[in-house]
Amino acid sequence: MKMPSPTSPVAAPREAAPLGRRVACAAIVALFPLLPALPAETGRAQTASATTGAPGLVRGAIDPLVEPEWLLERIGDEDVVVVQAVRREGEFAREHIAGARPLRFDEITWEGEEGWVVEFPAVDALVEVLRAAGIRRDSRVVIYGASMTATARTWVTFEYLGLGERAFLLNGGIEDWKAAGGAVATGDAGPVRRGDVEAGEVTDFRVSAEWILERLEEPSVVLLDARPDDEYTGADDGMGGITTPGHIPGAAQLYWEELMDPENNARFLPRERIAEILERHGAGEGRTHVAYCMIGMRASVAYMAARMHGLDIHLYDGSWRDWGMREGAPVETGPDPRDGSGPGWR
């Protein structure tokens, strides 16, 4: 597969890491015991602004990953801010990287009236959350968390705000951090000085259901479904009857854990392996890619993998929670013919 050459982000921490499949059913956000709800003033999702015209973002490849060894050498630097994407009450206090700050996942997402949506709040609300976490204009932010999908979604939020080149994901998470000799702590976070971060050029890489419907027959549009077998094939009966079962017609099944180390699903596979997986699922230069899942979290992992290779990648933020609830929306069931050696492979 012809992939654009990666470019170094601001203060690139290391050279681009070089680019499996364990199918396991990942629970949707509604099934987790989440943090207490925040006041409505935090802002609501801007679903109406999702791209309706042809996308065509021109962005170079990035390297959003840092290794524990890199962080060990720089964690004391004034411009390095480590944040833990926190989804459950008490999670940060039980154990966290020493010096890290909590970033509540429900402060950077809007979960909808029914609590089963994950979408971007207003830009001003997001910036306020980052400032409260002490993030400054010159900060290099390293993100980790107990949930890889929430961690990836947090990085995607920085990307949405035009701050993707100053945000990095700790490859391997806290387990690899501890294995490398990194210190951990318990208890609540101490006070931090308020930051002055500003949004960069907001990059709205989202697409809507209407945009996809208009382009279902276009061979240059590649849909990447990041859900596991039972959700993709429809064997789950649409999450037990909540939605229509199946997937968007023509979508390739790129389950997010296929991109991760089988021994640690907080660590991405080497870059060349990811390139092979993307190619096997129809991805490549000159195509427009759209990642989706159930609510937009698992798709964030696929989005990051595509960004590492400079692909034109977009996010269907409504994902199956939106498509599967639309009356008359076309649906396919059954396995992906690309997941094998048959004639359906591209």
Sheet arrangement for strand 312-315: 252-253, 221-225, 288-292, 312-315
When pLDDT is averaged across residues 207-235 and rounded to a whole number, the result is: 96
When pLDDT is averaged across residues 87-105 and rounded to a whole number, the result is: 95
pLDDT band at 346 (very low <50, low <70, confident <90, very high): very low
Query: Is residue 192 within 8 Å of residue 86, measured between CB atoms?
Result: no
Domains of the chain, with CATH numbers?
Answer: 30-185 (3.40.250.10), 209-323 (3.40.250.10)
pLDDT score for 32: 30
Model pLDDT for residues 274-283, shown as the tens digit of each residue? 999 999 999 9
pLDDT band at 60 (very low <50, low <70, confident <90, very high): confident
Place of tokens 């008359």: 328
Prediction pTM value: 0.83
State what percent of residues in the chain have pLDDT above 90: 71
When pLDDT is averaged across residues 188-196 and rounded to a whole number, the result is: 95
